[in-house]
Every structure is written in structure tokens, then in C-alpha cells.
Amino acid sequence: MAMTALVIDDSEVLREEIVRTLKEARLFETYLEARDGLEGFKTLLNNKVDLVLCDLEMPRMDGFRFLSMTRSRGELQDLPIILLTSREDRDTKIRGLEQGASDYVTKPFDSGELVARVRVQMKVKGLQDELKRSNELLRKLSITDPLTHLHNRRHLMEMVDKEFQRASRKGGALSLVILDIDYFKKINDTYGHQEGDKVLVALADIVRLRLRSYDVAARYGGEEFVLLLPETPLQEAQAIAERLRLEVQDHVFDGSLHGQVITISLGVATYPSPRIEGTDSLFRQADEALYRAKQNGRNRVELMSGST
């Protein structure tokens, strides 16, 4: 992966010396330069930078102010910043470290020491980046259904609570669709659970491709799925449900399921409604609509009571 260093110093000669030293050590592929903290901060906002070497005393914006502005932004809080200073006093170094500096290099610097300190910070950054990736993977695993890769039930319930509160505050429409695969037990009994899993995955893929970026789709349990549609009135939610129903019905399976038509039944409920006081009643209305869809012949969309 290409790495980038940013060197901030009002001395062009010193910037060139630092860049030359780091190039000889082959630590980075790209080198950016800035003459003061303000220019350096703007450079950070417009480029992906992996490490900063920043002079402490500069015109317009010094190193302390640069540190303060950088650490105030969440995406830059873990960026390694090595301060360059001609000062030897303890208080200055403590102040810099307390404000977020990763390390100090005293000017005039020894090239070997500079390279060693940069290597240490890059190693630390590498470990931090790996930890972030691992934590993000764990977070995704904790909210994802392992078979369909849709959200799981626990995450769905968190999102339903969040979106319901937002709809209550702002007065927007929030729709919930519960869908169920028709005769799914027969599919498992006839073709086996492995083929049944293929049906679940195909349905999840259709749902994922057709919903908007801010919608939430989750496997609720077994062959039942839930769609959470923010800012979506009842008629629009009905249209979305109907498009999904038709697309599932028309989906062509391969293998032993080739020629088998799979259908789904869907129930739709929308807040605000006199029948809905909270998330429990939102689910109940959608579930009752799904039950009517099953009772009325399956492979159909039914709306919450009182909506027609």
C-alpha cells in the first residue's frame, strides 16, 4: 500500500532535508510539503496522509495550534504527528504530548534518529489500523445474519427503535414490511435444507439490490424477513413490496430448483396511524397483514387494517 508523509516547516531547506532523509530510507512513496500549520491542515483535509512531521514554531499557525485543529477531527485523531523543535525544555515537550503529539525530534536532527522514530510511529499506526479493521469486522459480524448477510434480528430491533423515535420527532412516515417465503417447509422437505438455504440467499440478494441505501433489510427468523423503510408512506411501501413480490416470483433458479417458482407473502404497516402507538404495534399490524396475505391465497401483499 502506498504511504504518504506530510512535512510542515517554514524552512524550505529543512523540508528538503527531511524528505531526502526519508526517501533514502524508502519509508514512503509520496511526500507532501507545507510552509505552516494552516497550509498543512488544508493539505490534510484534501489528501490521505499516513504520518506528519511538523515544526513547532511557524508563522500564521504554529505546531500547537495545528495539533489542536487536527485532533479535533475524528478521522485525524489517530494520525501520527512528530513535532520538530529546537527547544530542549521539558515543559514544551510535555505540552505537545498532552495536545496529541506522537513524538518529538529535536533540530538539528540526526538522520538515523529521525528515521528510527518515524519507523516506530509507522509500526504503531500499522498495529492500530489492523486493530480497527478487526474491530470493524467483529462489529459487522455481530449485526449480520451469517447465511444471507443481511442484518440480524438484534440489529433490526435497534434500528426500528431509532427510526421510530426519529419519525415521532419529525412527523415523517415509517413503513415496516414483513415477508415470508410461501411453503418453505415443503421446499426443505422436497429438495433438502441446502437448497432451502439457496432460496434464502437468493431472496436476500433480491432485497439487497432493490432497496435504497437508507432502508434496512434483516432476516427476522427462519424464512421470515423484515424491511424497514424510513420516510416511506403506506402506498409507496406497498409499491416496493409488490415489486419485490413480482421479482421473487420471476426469479429463475438453477440446479435441482430449476423450473420451481418461489413466491412470498408480504404484510405492510406504516406509522403514523391511530392503530400504532409504538414499535410493538407497528410489528403487530405488519404481522397481521402478513397473516391475511397467507389466508387470502399467498403470493400477495396485504396492508395494515383500516388502510383501505
CA distances in angstroms from 119 to 30, 80, 115, listed in the order given: 16, 11, 6
Confidence of residue 94 (pLDDT cuts 50, 70, 90): confident
Whole-number Å distance between alpha carbons of 93 and 85 = 9
Cell matching residue 51: 504520518
Sheet holding 51-55, edge to edge: 30-34, 4-8, 51-55, 81-85, 103-106
75 noted as active-site residue = no
Average pLDDT, stretch 184-213? 93
Strand partners, 176: 228, 269
How far from the centroid of its chain's Cα atoms is residue 114's Cα?
36
Residue among 57, 195, 223, 236 flagged as catalytic: 223
**Domains detected in the chain:** 4-141 (3.40.50.2300), 153-303 (3.30.70.270)
Q: How many CA atoms lie within 13 A of 141 on its CB side?
A: 6
- Tens of pLDDT, residue by residue over 230-277, are 999 999 999 999 999 999 999 999 888 888 999 999 999 999 999 999
Confidence of residue 19 (pLDDT cuts 50, 70, 90): very high
- Tens of pLDDT, residue by residue over 25-78, are 999 999 999 999 999 999 999 999 999 999 988 888 888 899 999 988 888 988
The pLDDT assigned to 308 comes to 58
Whole-number Å distance between alpha carbons of 228 and 159 = 8
Q: What is the pTM assigned to this prediction? A: 0.69
